[in-house]
């Protein structure tokens, strides 16, 4: 692989945001995701390639360490910060119309639930793959989602929940959306969910990871 | 007898069970601020404390887990922080039998300190100060800093306690097992936690939430292997929550809890109780077992 992309991928995985950031101590003074992504673009590497060959695999490796209990929330958060520092350079390519926006994706963590690390990653990956993302934040009530559909009738809705106690609220939200928009596309995700649960509450699709979410969206516009 | 004298007497202190799941069972709905019930549903709050005292708890926690400024901000209730914490303490104290204790609960902010998040140490500490002041004024016997996962954040809470009160405190973090021993979600090991809390002079050190009774026993063994002498506090969940026909259930019954308690007692804890999903019946069974051994 291209050396620049390899460095960028490692910067994301290690949470090296930019040259000035003191974390991780072992990479003090080196270029971070911010500079390396800029350099990759200047070297003529396509935004999609940067995303798919450097950013997503970097985030994927730290995610794997996290699920294996070898990395913890701080490492995950700082890697997400590094990823977003890189994405900042990629986004203008989509907004400038050089690459066409694929559609609107509205995402939120359901009411009662404050977990947003996973939701933010999903939002980032989807934005990075060319969608306009509207992030409603955490603890989002059903009305907020209905309002968003009202404003963006063609949007895809994404619901995230991390607590067994708030999965019930996800069901409430899906029911309220279905009452007004029986066929609206609703994507659900989050650690305690399953395909069965998705089916039971009448959502359109369940993905256990951001990649699956991106693929679902790609299919939905195809 | 003060709380400190009671712990030094070496008789196991029986704590309470869950507050959160008891509130949900009595009608608290998603999105509502549990601490608001300290002034809007005082009878229910008193009733929960009274039911734990009646079941055999020597000490109950106040309904102030989310009473820090940063937590209340999410509900736009920051300006009522003092009142909500004060009455949280008063409700429990008003039903406290002679010789029993009320402990002020302080939970984590739910936000991250710099550099991982954007909260400064000062903001974090200030967020706990109002809880400490209000509950000290209300007359609690001590504090329990519970379900923390970040060592720096619990240090902010300890700083708030020490600078605003002379009361003792318990320190409890939530752990899960990893290939490398038990760690909190922020990566804090049992050793790091115990060492820091010994130098901070916590009256009790231990863990609550996150684990059912069996996993809590494994975790307790690790605490013991780190220190043979610490005064250990343990409050296990009634297992993990799951949905059964759309209703939230916890799998570990009071009987199941009780039948494993002897293994837990073998680790010589100073204080035991229950966390999410446990109710007064769990406490009654815990008391029975403690009295028979
Ligand atoms: C729309 O389409 C999609 C598609 C895919 C989607 C998707 C949407 N959303 C997610 N995905 C998927 O893609 C993402 C990227 O790969 C993935 O997202 P995840 O979110 O799964 O993965 C993230 C990248 C990393 N994972 C995480 O960020 C979650 C990590 C753990 C450690 C966790 C964290 C960080 C926190 N917590 Co909480 N927390 C735990 C978690 C235990 C663990 N080790 O997993 C869990 C989820 N927490 C739990 C609990 C109980 C709680 N937490 C609470 C609080 C917190 C913090 C605030 C401290 C913090 C959240 C900080 C934040 N800003 O998000 C409390 C609840 C607060 C609330 N009302 O929400 C509290 C109730 C604790 C307490 N007693 O106060 C447990 C839930 C148990 C259950 N099943 O109900 C828990 C499993 C820990 C445990 N072992 O007990 C996929 O699921």
Which one of A27, A32, A165, A167 makes the best mutation probe of the B interface by having the most chain B beta carbons within 10 Å?
Answer: A165
- The per-residue pLDDT for A96 is 66
Residue B233: HSE in the Cβ half-sphere, 13 Å Cα cutoff: 29
Residues of A in contact with B240 (CB under 8 A): 164
> DSSP alpha helices (H): ranges in chain A?
3-14, 33-42, 47-50, 56-67, 73-95, 117-128, 142-151, 164-180, 195-201, 210-221
What rounded mean pLDDT belongs to chain A?
92
Strand order in the sheet with A104-109: A132-135, A104-109, A156-160, A186-189, A205-206
Q: Where does the pLDDT of residue A172 fall: very low under 50, low under 70, confident under 90, or very high at 90 and above?
A: very high
A28-62: per-residue pLDDT in tens? Answer: 999 999 999 999 999 999 988 998 899 989 998 99
> DSSP alpha helices (H): ranges in chain B?
3-8, 20-25, 37-40, 42-55, 69-73, 81-94, 121-138, 151-164, 190-199, 213-226, 254-265, 280-292
* CB distance A160 to ligand 1 below 6 Å: yes
Q: Measure in Å the smallest separation between the Cα of A98 and chain B Cα atoms.
A: 34
| Minimal-distance CA residue to ligand 1 atom 4 | A189
A60-85: per-residue pLDDT in tens? Answer: 899 889 988 999 999 998 999 999 99
Put simply, the answer to whether B177 touches A22 (Cβ < 8 Å) is no
Enter the DSSP assignment of B96: P
Name the pTM for this structure: 0.88
In testing the pocket of ligand 1, which one of A115, A135, A138 has its CB within 8 Å of the most ligand atoms?
Answer: A115
Among the ranges given (A103-107, B27-31, B150-154, B267-271), the one the predictor scored with the smallest mean pLDDT: B27-31
* CB distance A117 to ligand 1 below 6 Å: yes
CB neighbours (10 Å) of residue A72? 18
> Is the separation of the CB atoms in A131 and A138 below 8 Å?
no
> Is the separation of the CB atoms in A148 and A185 below 8 Å?
no
Stretch B249-261: mean pLDDT, rounded?
A: 92
- The per-residue pLDDT for A112 is 87
CA dihedral B78, B82, B84, B88 (to 10 degrees): 150
What rounded mean pLDDT belongs to chain B?
96
Put simply, the answer to whether B30 touches A165 (Cβ < 8 Å) is yes
Residue A97, pLDDT above cutoff 70: no
Residue A111, pLDDT above cutoff 80: yes
Record: fold of B3-292: TIM Barrel (3.20.20)
Residue in B with minimal Cα distance to A115: B110
> Is the separation of the CB atoms in B232 and B223 below 8 Å?
yes
For residue B175, the CA-to-ligand 1 centroid distance in Å is 14
Put simply, the answer to whether B74 touches A114 (Cβ < 8 Å) is yes
| Minimal-distance CA residue to ligand 1 atom 70 | A113
Q: Measure in Å the smallest separation between the Cα of A113 and chain B Cα atoms.
A: 9
Residues of B in contact with A140 (CB under 8 A): none
CB neighbours (10 Å) of residue A92? 11
A3-96: CATH number = 1.10.1240.10
Nearest beta carbon to residue B31 from set A75, A141, A163: A141
Nearest beta carbon to residue A111 from set B30, B178, B186: B30
| Minimal-distance CA residue to ligand 1 atom 7 | A189
Residues of A in contact with B248 (CB under 8 A): 164-165, 168
Comparing C-alpha atoms, which of B200, B207, B201, B224 is closest to residue B272? B207
**What is the C-alpha to C-alpha distance for residues A176 and B289, in angstroms, rounded to an integer?**
48
Which one of B28, B30, B112 makes the best mutation probe of the A interface by having the most chain A beta carbons within 10 Å?
Answer: B30
Task: Give percent of chain A with pLDDT exceeding 90.
Answer: 73
For residue B90, the CA-to-ligand 1 centroid distance in Å is 33
A104-221: CATH number = 3.40.50.280
- The per-residue pLDDT for A211 is 84
B34-56: per-residue pLDDT in tens? Answer: 999 999 999 999 999 999 999 99
Where do the domains of chain A lie? Answer: 3-96, 104-221
| Minimal-distance CA residue to ligand 1 atom 5 | A189
């Amino acid at each position: 692989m291209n050396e620049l992309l390899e460095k960028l991928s490692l910067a994301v995985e290690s949470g090296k945001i930019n040259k000035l950031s003191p974390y991780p101590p072992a990479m003090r003074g080196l270029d971070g995701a911010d500079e390396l992504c800029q350099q990759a673009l200047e070297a003529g590497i396509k935004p999609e390639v940067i995303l798919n060959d450097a950013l997503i695999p970097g985030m994927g490796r730290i995610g794997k360490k996290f699920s294996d209990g070898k990395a913890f929330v701080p490492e995950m958060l700082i890697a997400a910060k590094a990823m977003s520092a890189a994405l900042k350079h990629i986004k203008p390519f989509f907004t400038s119309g050089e690459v066409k926006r694929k559609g609107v994706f509205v995402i939120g963590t359901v009411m009662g639930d404050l977990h947003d690390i996973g939701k933010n990653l999903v939002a980032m990956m989807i934005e990075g793959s060319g969608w306009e993302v509207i992030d409603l934040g955490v603890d989002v009530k059903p009305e907020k989602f209905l309002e968003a559909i009202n404003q963006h009738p063609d949007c895809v809705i994404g619901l995230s929940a991390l607590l067994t106690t708030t999965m019930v609220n996800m069901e409430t939200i899906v029911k309220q959306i279905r009452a007004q928009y029986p066929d609206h596309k609703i994507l659900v995700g989050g650690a305690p969910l399953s395909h069965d649960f998705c089916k039971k509450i009448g959502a359109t699709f369940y993905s256990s990871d951001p990649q699956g979410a991106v693929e679902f969206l790609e299919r939905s516009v195809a | 007898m003060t709380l400190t004298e009671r712990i030094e007497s070496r008789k196991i202190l029986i704590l309470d069970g869950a507050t959160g799941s008891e509130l949900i069972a009595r009608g608290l709905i998603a999105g509502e601020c549990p601490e608001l019930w300290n002034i809007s549903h005082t009878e229910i709050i008193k009733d929960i404390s009274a039911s734990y005292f009646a079941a055999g708890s020597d000490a109950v926690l106040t309904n102030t887990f989310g009473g820090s400024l940063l937590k209340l901000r999410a509900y736009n209730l920051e300006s009522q922080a003092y009142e909500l914490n004060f009455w949280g303490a008063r409700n429990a104290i008003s039903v406290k039998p002679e010789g029993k204790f009320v402990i002020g609960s302080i939970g984590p902010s739910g936000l991250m300190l710099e550099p991982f998040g954007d909260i400064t140490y000062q903001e974090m500490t200030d967020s706990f100060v109002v809880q400490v002041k209000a509950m000290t004024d209300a007359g609690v016997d001590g504090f329990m800093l519970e379900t923390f996962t970040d060592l720096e954040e619990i240090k902010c809470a300890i700083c708030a306690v020490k600078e605003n009160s002379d009361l003792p405190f318990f320190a409890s973090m939530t752990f899960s097992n990893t290939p490398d021993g038990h760690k909190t979600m922020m990566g804090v090991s049992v050793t790091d936690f115990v060492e820091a809390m010994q130098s901070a002079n916590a009256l009790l050190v231990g863990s609550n939430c996150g684990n059912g009774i069996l996993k809590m026993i494994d975790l307790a063994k690790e605490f013991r292997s780190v220190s043979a002498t610490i005064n250990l506090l343990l409050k296990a969940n009634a297992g993990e929550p799951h949905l059964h026909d759309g209703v939230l259930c916890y799998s570990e019954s009071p009987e199941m809890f009780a039948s494993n308690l002897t293994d837990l007692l073998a680790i010589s804890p100073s204080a035991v109780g229950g966390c999410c999903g446990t109710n007064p019946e769990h406490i009654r069974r815990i008391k029975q077992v403690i009295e028979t051994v």
